[in-house]
Amino acid sequence: MHIHFIIHEHFEGPGAYLTWARLNNHKITMTKLYEGETLPTAIDSIDLLIVLGGPQHPRTTTIDCPYFDAQAETQLIRQCVDQGKAVIGVCLGAQLIGEALGQQFSHSPEKEIGVWPITLSPYGKENNKFKHFKDKLAVGHWHNDMPGITTDAKIIAHSEGCPRQIVEYTNLVYGFQCHMEFTPELIELLITNDRDNIVKNRDKRFIQSPEQLRVQNYTQMNEALYTFLDQLAIDYLHSLNLK
């Protein structure tokens, strides 16, 4: 498979998504927007588009952030969805998927930074891509917002602080408000680049300190992500055979 990453900031990198792609010898390409790279114009060869997170939101303008063009990204996402590509959005990326499909993002009831459990919905428990999560799984969080949901979308998982943690838009298109790609290296980058946000919100109930973030075990969530990605790849290849 050819996997293309859209990366908004160096401190919100692909983490475990990239590890999985390398372990499976997939072709990997990237657009590092923070380095001035441009979005791909030809998508025929792309099989899986992964749009990562960032401090921006879908209403951020190019005046606010010159290298982030929400409209261009939503157009790319929509093009991939319409052509039957697999698409994953993480945090900001999940919100952009919702926007691309006509549904606006919204603020989450709670800010979440740290490792907190998500709970599978009844549909999620029966879904072959997620049932290995069991009822609950501790995953990473670093967000204030959540994606919009279409009439056909299904909630896979929620948390106490956010009702839309994982959203299935189609069997090939998923929005992850949570961060299952976190690794100790990514956590250090996030702490360094977002320390003020942690300090400002330290009294909120779903905000962990840098010390708490550093002692978390990210391996289990990474492994659960790999199993999801394995099944997504199978479903995508099956969809190709049906064309």
Query: Once rounded to an integer, what is the mean pLDDT over residues 141-155?
Result: 96
Contact indicator for 20, 225 with CB cutoff of 8 Å: yes
The residues near 57 (Cβ < 8 Å, ≥ 6 apart) are 92, 95, 105, 145
Contact indicator for 6, 93 with CB cutoff of 8 Å: yes
Domains plus CATH for the chain? Answer: 2-242 (3.40.50.880)
Q: Give 23-69 pLDDT, tens digit per residue.
A: 999 999 999 999 999 999 999 999 999 999 999 999 999 999 999 99
Reported confidence tier of residue 202, pLDDT bands at 50, 70, 90: confident
Token pair, residue 179, equals 């961060």
Concatenated DSSP letters of 102-146: T---EEEEEEEEEEEEEEE-HHHHH-TTTGGG-SEEEEEEEEEEE
* For residue 7, pLDDT beyond 90: yes
DSSP helix, strand, coil percent of the chain (3-state; round to 5): 35, 25, 40
pLDDT value for 196 = 87
The residue assigned the tokens 């279409």 is 150
The residue assigned the tokens 């289990």 is 220
Q: Under the phi-then-psi rule, with left for phi > 0, alpha for psi from -120 to 50, and beta for the rest, what region is 134?
A: left
